[in-house]
Structure 1
Amino acid sequence: MRAKARMSAMHFPRAVLFDLDGTLLDSAPDMLAAINAMREARGAEPMELAALRPHVSKGARAMVAASFPEVDASTRETWIPEFLDCYRAALGRFGGPFEGIEPALAAIERAGSRWGIVTNKPEALAAALMPLLGWEERCAVLIGGDSLPARKPDPLPLRVAAERMGLDIADCVYVGDDERDIVAARAAGMRSIVALWGYRLDGDDPEAWQADAMLDEPADLARPERWAT
């Protein structure tokens, strides 16, 4: 039976776990710089941010596929290391936290709660962002897509994150902008929230993901009473 989060409508849970790209961080501009470096190397015109943005939360392969739809999948697969190298060069240069994220994190901290990150981004890349954002001392736990034998939508990363923080699943809430985030939280027995400001394809239907709540903007994260809606 699914655990019930230990929080009231007026209080934060003991811990908030976040997805990174599309939830805390507007990383699409950095991703675009990486994709356009690859396109320039192949003599192609730059891609527009609006065209890439919906694919960011789906991962490197989805972004490369959206950027080079005319290239066969097996060839695109060999380009993933190049994309990661290009992204590493652009890391933190163009993107940043969504407006409202920093005040929300500060509100969580003032309440005596902790927060951490569970992302499918490679751990080394996620960890490299922490000092750039000033989060290396504030983020209580960081789990990347290659930190464990499984990644989201498998619930293992969320379970391990709670364990490393010394907390029960019921003490935590997970916030993410992709269906995989909500599927992972449900499988872990963890309360979940959809970040509606994130990256979604036109066909995505967040209501169908069956999260516990959906928030319209990052500022809502600073108001725990909104989390129960």
Structure 2
Amino acid sequence: MPTSSARFPRAVLFDLDGTLLDSAPDMLAAANAMRAARGEAPMALAALRPHVSKGARAMVAAAFPQADAAERESWIPEFLAHYQRELGRHGAPFPGIDAMLERLEAAGSAWGIVTNKPEYLARALLPLLGWEARCAVLIGGDTLGVRKPDPLPLRVAAERLGVAPAQCVYVGDDERDIVAARAAGMPSLVALWGYRLAEDDPIAWQADAMIDSPARLCEAAAWPAGRGE
């Protein structure tokens, strides 16, 4: 039972793909457009899904494992162009995300997004999701010249929210999310509903908390306490 002292964080920062948004279907459409152009049969969602949080390079590698690394690297702009055309057409927030965001807002918590996705793509998604007036800060992978696991994007996002990193919680589904949060001095939470490879071990990441459902984050007691509170 939640204690009377449990409270929501002053601010929460989220990873995007695999944490707030189930974007794998959009990514699959992009990958399969590339495969079709090369005479390849469509790949299954299950084959791409575990790679989504690892970024465009990992997804292109999963779609074209037979191609050499240099060739795949040259295809990244093509993948991003296809993805931009598919943006928001197939994916959706994970079940329970909308209710969780509403609960945070009702509690007076600010929230924002720190993602390694290029900022122009992340920003284009906000109006499609109805989040453009609700998301208080957005930092993309190219916003600052460094990306997670570097802690700078998290620190800058907290600064723009007007809170100390210790009073903000970062939620993500990949190890680099937790590494970045720890280096930023920010409590962290693993979104176990997100995208992971079979060999990933979230326990070894040593986050402050692990949660298996966005619905649980509607409860103040599920959140790690801000440090120094």
Q: CA deviation at 1:227?
A: 2.4
Change (3 A) 1:9 1:101: farther
- Could you tell me which residue of structure 1 aligns to residue 105 of structure 2? 109
Q: Percent identity?
A: 74
**1:127-186 deviation per Cα after TM superposition (whole angstroms, max 9, x unaligned):** 000000000000000000000021100000000000111111121000000000000000
Q: Deviations over 1:82-138 (max 9, x none)?
A: 000000000000001000000000000000111000000000000000000000000
Partner of 2:216: 220
Give the conservation status (yes or no) of the 8 Å contact 2:188–2:224.
Answer: no
**What SS does the corresponding residue of 1:16 show, helix, strand or coil?**
strand
Task: Provide the secondary structure at the position in 2 that maps to 1:201.
Answer: coil
Give, in whole Å, the separation in 2 of the partners of 1:61 and 1:199. Answer: 15
The partner residue of 2:126 within 115, 127, 130 is 130
Deviation at 1:228, TM superposition (A): 4.0
Partner of 2:40: 44
Q: Per-residue CA shift, 1:44-63, capped at 9, x if unaligned? A: 00000000000000000000
Q: Distance in 2 between matches of 1:228 and 1:121?
A: 26
Report deviation, 1:226. Answer: 1.7
Hey, what does 1:165 align to over in structure 2?
161
2:167 counterpart letter in structure 1: D
- 2:8 corresponds to which residue? 12
Q: 172, 175, 180: which is aligned to 1:176?
A: 172
**2:16 counterpart SS class:** coil
Over the aligned positions, Cα root-mean-square deviation in angstroms equals 1.1
User: Is contact 1:9–1:224 with CA below 8 Å preserved after alignment?
Assistant: no
Instruction: Give 2:67's aligned residue.
Output: 71
- Report what 1:23 is aligned to: 19
Q: Residue type matched to 2:176 in 1?
A: R
Q: Mean Cα displacement is larger for which, 17-26 or 217-226?
A: 217-226
CA distance in structure 2 between the aligned counterparts of 1:170 and 1:61, rounded to whole angstroms: 32
Is the 2:31–2:63 contact (alpha carbons within 8 Å) kept by the matching residues of 1?
yes
Does 1:100 pair with 2:96?
A: yes
CA distance in 2, matches of 1:215, 1:169: 21
Out of 116, 120, 124, which is 2:116 matched to? 120
In the comparison of the two structures, how many residue pairs are matched? 222
Calculate the TM-score normalised by the size of structure 2: 0.95
- The residue that corresponds to 2:30 in the other structure is 34
Residue aligning to 2:49: 53
TM-score after normalising by structure 1:
0.95
Runs of 4+ in 1 over 3 A off after TM superposition: none
In structure 2, the residue matched to 1:152 is 148
Aligned to 2:139: 143
User: Aligned with 1:33: secondary structure?
Assistant: helix
Provide the secondary structure at the position in 1 that maps to 2:223: helix
Could you list the runs of 5+ residues in structure 1 that have no partner in the other structure?
Answer: 1-7
Question: Structure 1 residue 73: deviation in Å?
Answer: 0.2
User: 1:9 Cα shift?
Assistant: 5.8
Counterpart residue type for residue 55 of structure 1 = H
